[in-house]
Amino acid sequence: MTSSTLAPNNDTIGTDQVPTIRITDMTFGYKRSKPVLEHINLDVPVGQSLGILGYNGVGKTTLFGIITGLLCPQHGSAAINSNVFHSMREVFQLSDSGNLSPTMTIRENLKFRSMLYAAHENPHPLDMQHLNELPMVQAFELGEHLDKKVKDLSSGLRKRAGIVAGMLFSPKLILLDEPTNAVDPITRQLLVDLMKQLKAKGRTILTITHDLEYCWEVTDRIIILDNKHLVKDCDISDFPTIDAFKQAATLGRERSNVNFGISK
Ligand SMILES: Nc1ncnc2c1ncn2[C@@H]1O[C@H](COP(=O)(O)OP(=O)(O)OP(=O)(O)O)[C@@H](O)[C@H]1O
């Protein structure tokens, strides 16, 4: 975790605006000579739901890598506030793979995680005998799949399992990379409802997404990355309608009536 301690800067940030994440003048490239992101500045306050938008390949997943400390900025800094989140166990990141071991069953994955989250005062964070009865397992209808290997699950089920596995341990900072990708409409709605409830409970949620309806429903604020830079940073409440939001979110680059060269 790139968790250098962040002292809240009370000149600019009120006590209810403690940053959970602070990125300052950050530049990163996989090759030193070819930056993917340049001079990014971003503060995410406690309890905010932030949408991260931008075209394919612009560097959204890279930004998550920087935030979690997997990737190291070439210039500037990025840190999770260790005054707010005391351990990486309070952080949950959902990637496309669902963050589960593919060769283990869902049940084995949950058991393994439970061991990781065991603490002296709570040696058995999960009741492994009654997994079926857990509200999260029931809500995402995972009961009948618990003994299937993750590698044998469909991508949507894998995502459901990844969400449940992460959420069972009550993370405070939630990083989601395209959570509504490859899920059916019912699961999508479940996910939206879950995020709304977590937001209401004060969790900080960062979502990389191309799903503008999800943003409209779940996020308080969006940033847009474009051509290496953070080009837009606005509150969802700035937009009177979802159509106005969509227009802004696509940077006015809708493509309609395109000639694909299809012959009769
Ligand atoms: N491990 C890597 N090594 C080298 N280049 C990489 C690596 N990972 C990503 N890139 C490149 O960095 C750029 C940003 O990739 P990234 O995955 O962060 O984009 P993204 O905005 O998340 O894209 P998408 O919306 O398609 O998921 C792309 O040009 C990509 O090819």
Atom of ligand 1 nearest to the CA of 178: 27
Strands 229-235 and 221-226: antiparallel
Domains present along the chain, CATH in parentheses: 1-85+172-251 (3.40.50.300), 100-171 (no CATH)
CB proximity list for 211: less than 8 A, separation 6 or greater: 178, 180, 181
> Is the beta carbon of 62 within 6 A of some atom in ligand 1?
yes
Average pLDDT over residues 145-174: 91
Name the residue with the closest Cα to ligand 1, atom 31: 57
What spacing in Å lies between the alpha carbon of 59 and ligand 1's midpoint? Answer: 6
Q: Do 178 and 21 touch, CB atoms closer than 8 A?
A: no
pLDDT at 251 (0 to 100): 77
CB proximity list for 129: less than 8 A, separation 6 or greater: none
Which of these, 175, 170, 163, 165, lies nearest to 68 by C-alpha position?
Answer: 175
> Is the beta carbon of 66 within 6 A of some atom in ligand 1?
no
> Is the beta carbon of 19 within 6 A of some atom in ligand 1?
no
Tell me the CA distances in angstroms from 224 to 58, 97, 212, one per residue in order: 10, 24, 12
pLDDT at 15 (0 to 100): 42
> Is the beta carbon of 29 within 6 A of some atom in ligand 1?
no
Average pLDDT over residues 133-139: 91
pLDDT tens-digit profile of 102-123? 999 999 999 888 887 777 677 6
CB proximity list for 235: less than 8 A, separation 6 or greater: 220, 221
The percentage of residues in the chain with a pLDDT greater than 70, rounded to a whole number, is: 89
pLDDT tens-digit profile of 20-68? 999 999 999 999 889 999 999 999 999 999 999 999 999 999 999 999 9
> Is the beta carbon of 18 within 6 A of some atom in ligand 1?
no
Name the residue with the closest Cα to ligand 1, atom 30: 57
Q: Is the pLDDT of residue 14 over 60?
A: no
What spacing in Å lies between the alpha carbon of 74 and ligand 1's midpoint? Answer: 16
> Is the beta carbon of 56 within 6 A of some atom in ligand 1?
yes
What spacing in Å lies between the alpha carbon of 206 and ligand 1's midpoint? Answer: 18
> Is the beta carbon of 36 within 6 A of some atom in ligand 1?
yes
Name the residue with the closest Cα to ligand 1, atom 25: 56
Distance CA 210, CA 51 (A): 9
